Amino acid sequence: MSQFAEIADNGDEDGRNPTIEQPISPDGRAEPGKRYAVPARHGRAVRLDKGQRIKIVNTHGSQVCDTWGFSVADPSEFLSMEHMRAWIGRLVPRPGDELASNRRRPILVLEEDSSPGVHDTLIAACDLFRYRTLGVEGYHDNCADNLRMATKAIGLRVREVPSPLNLWMNIPILANGGVGFYPTVSKPGDYVILRAEMDCVVAMSSCPQDIIPINGQACTPVEIHFEVL
């Protein structure tokens, strides 16, 4: 008998917020051209057909958006930062770059980026355990749970929480080899456009971080917006 406990997956949230009750539609399909909000501290998921494009807008310029992609055909295939970095040969994607899955093929393409291009591919999604290390007692909204709830809200259960593409997150590598956690350098209205290279679900979390200043010096999470073009 195995000495290890049997764990089915990592798909259960540690707490809840209205994300799980407020999908954009029952199956995650968006009305093309309609502007949707991802409220501060919450998440949303949207289903894209191959070839469809999603525009994600940093409405206030100060907000980090954790972003994931999962194959509709098999959600065990997902946008993978470690595979993507090898695929594109650098840490941060630029317009025209293919964003690779854990099966080493494109799942999304970064078509446009109106911001200075400062995004992060190194830092894991915040979760309950991260906030405990920051001194939080009790539950704190977090991106890992926002992913779990946003996908469940449209009928998809993800079995793990991959490291996200942290849009607009400013995590420079310092001269001493460390990393910094700095405010965004984007401006209000900056956006990225992602094109689906397969039928997929894109999930977004308007990061709830309010202890360190990645969401601006005031440490105040705000909403972002998106539309399917």
Residue 57's pLDDT is 98
pTM of the entire structure?
A: 0.96
Residue 59: what pLDDT? 98
Q: How far apart are CA 39 and CA 91, in angstroms?
A: 28
Q: Which residue has the tokens 């998440």?
A: 43
What pLDDT is stored for residue 77 in this prediction? Answer: 98
Q: How far apart are the first and last CA of the chain?
A: 53
Contact 12, 192 (CB under 8 A): no
In order of 63, 125, 155, 212, 221, the CA distances from 39 in angstroms are 11, 17, 20, 19, 9
Q: Compute the distance between CA of residue 221 and CA of residue 208 in angstroms, rounded to an integer.
A: 6
pLDDT < 50 regions, the chain? none
Between the alpha carbon of residue 55 and those of residues 59, 86, 166, 226, the distances in Å are: 12, 25, 15, 5
Alpha helices in 6-154 (DSSP H): 81-88, 128-133, 143-152
